[in-house]
Amino acid sequence: MFDFLEGYDLLGAFWVTVQLTLLSAVGSLIWGTMLAAMRVGPVPLMRGFGAAYVNIVRNIPLTVIILFTSLGLNQTLGITLGGGDDFDTINFRLAVLGLILYTSAFVCEAIRAGINTVPVGQAEAARAVGLNFTQVLTLIVLPQAFRAVVGPLANVLIALTKNTTVAAAIGVAEAALLMKEMIENEAQLLLIAAIFAFGFVCLTLPTGLILGWVGKKVAVKR
């Protein structure tokens, strides 16, 4: 029944999916945290930028963003992100960039929700002992905020894992692209789709379980 799988590099394709997910996750965690810091910061210009960024980017379909990185940034503006002349490398990097830009909007909102769970007294007390804004945020508020939002961030990570399939739109050789090729060649629509769905469940189910457990472990008991 599964003999048609021969000749296809399923694991290799899913490995690219994992790479896309991990790199974008790290990138969007950093950029998302910076956005959250801007949105709660004292400078109106930065607050405005953060709010505008989040509201614009999260309302644009991911496919449009990913296609824009390729058609707009690469083809029209000639940006290669150091990928030289090789489409495979360039597209992979562009896809990571697009995924970071998109996912960080959601990460930002999750972290901002976490910041709101930290009692105001904490920040006030920190201010009273003479810490400045950066210190209050990085030493007092963010550590508690992160512990509160492990669950929501796990949601974002799972969504990101599945969103990587959009990278197939610009030709990154990840799982969804291999799926399209196999469907074209083998005429086994349902079976192939089921195999790939199972592959994604294998990736996301443990992520959810582990991070759910971690979230419970580290949550601040109030």
**Which residues here bind another protein, judged by CB under 8 A?**
67, 70-71, 74-76, 85-87, 91, 168-171, 177, 179-181, 183-187, 189-190
The smaller minimum CB distance to another protein, of residues 99 and 170, is found at: 170
Q: How far apart are CA 3 and CA 24, in angstroms?
A: 34
Considering the complex, state which of residue 137 and residue 170 has its C-beta at the smaller distance from another protein.
170
CB of 130 to another protein, least distance (A): 55
133 neighbors 114 (Cβ within 8 angstroms): no
Nearest residue (CB) to another protein, 12 versus 206 = 12
Measured from the CB atom, is 60 or 193 closer to another protein? 193
Tell me how far, at minimum, the Cβ of 161 lies from another protein, in Å: 20
Q: Give the residue with the Cβ less far from another protein, 104 or 165.
A: 165
Shortest reach from residue 116's CB to another protein, in Å:
34
Half-sphere exposure of 96 (CA within 13 A, CB side): 21
* Least distance to another protein, CB of residue 125, Å: 45
Could you tell me the smallest distance in angstroms from the CB atom of residue 102 to another protein?
18
Q: Where are the alpha helices (H) located in 72-168, listed in sequence order? A: 87-117, 120-128, 133-135, 142-148, 150-163
**DSSP summary character for residue 4:** G
Burial of 46 (0-12, 13-18, 19+ CB in 10 A): middle
Which tokens is 158 given? 């799972």
